[in-house]
Structures are given as structure tokens and as C-alpha cells.
Amino acid sequence: MNKCKSFKPSVDNNSKILILGSMPGIKSLAEQQYYAHPQNRFWKVMGSICKTSDLHELDYNKKLEVLLNNNIALWDTIKSCNREGSLDSDIQNEIPNDIRKLLKKYPNIKTICLNGNKSYSSFIKYFPDLSEKYNCFKMPSTSPANAKYNLNMLINEWKITLDK
């Protein structure tokens, strides 16, 4: 069983939307980059929303910069856990990130998007009160494991929420 640790948040004082994943997968942990697996559709979805069609092809720091320029912060619900492989269903012994502290430090954040079931269930488990104070949305996962949604479906679902 591998010990996994999430990354620091990508956030600034202009952030209005916080996107929370669960825990980066093996490829992301190895690269030290959010959504590094080439089959994860996160950067393509965000590229469409941020009107930067080649976002998925840009340098990682540029990707984060584009999100921040669109007032979007990025982090994970889980700070650390044990897990073999990359599946959220294999996460054990999770410890949450201090999302309350982040939200206090960045008061312009009003919307929280939870990328997938595990991010949502962990958020509700550890921070049930925050769902009443913020606009919280359970979003369809951009993971390739979520084969139920094709790229266009993901873009449409995410756009509806992020355009509110």
C-alpha cells in the first residue's frame, strides 16, 4: 500500500471558484502535476471553459496560470491516504486537507466544484457545514474511469455549473 500526499493548492486572492479533486493518481503524483494522466479530460474541459483550446498541451505552470486568470483555484479534498494504483475506490485511511483554512484565507471563493464521487463524499463527510455556506456542486469526474461521460458531455455539465 502506497502513502499518497496531495499537492499545495493553486489559488490566489482573485479566485472565486475552487475545484477539488480527491487525490492525484499515480501519473500525477510521479509528475507532481494535477491531472497529468494523458487520458484524464480535466485540462480539455477547462480549456473549453477558459476559451483556451490548447490548454491541455501547454506547460503545467501555464495551465495553472490560465485557471487563475479565470478565477479558478485547484486543490484536493484529501491531504493524504493509502492507496494501491489510482482508483478512488482503493483509497484508505484518508486525511482531509484543511479546506476551511483555505476558504478563510481566500474569501472571494464562493463556489466549490467537486470533481467526482470520492471528492464529493469526502467533502460532505469532513465539511458538511460548508455545503450550506457555499455553492457546492458534485461534478462528473474527468477521469478516464468515468466512461459514462464523453468529452462533450463533460464540457456541457461543467460549463453549466461554472457559468452560473
What residues are annotated to the active site?
40
Cα 69-75-77 angle, rounded to 5 deg:
150
Which of these, 19, 18, 26, 40, lies nearest to 109 by C-alpha position? 18
Mapped onto helix, strand or coil, the DSSP state of residue 34 is coil
Measured distance CA(118)–CA(120) in Å, rounded: 5
Indicate the residue type of 152: N
| The residue to which cell 507532481 is assigned | 32
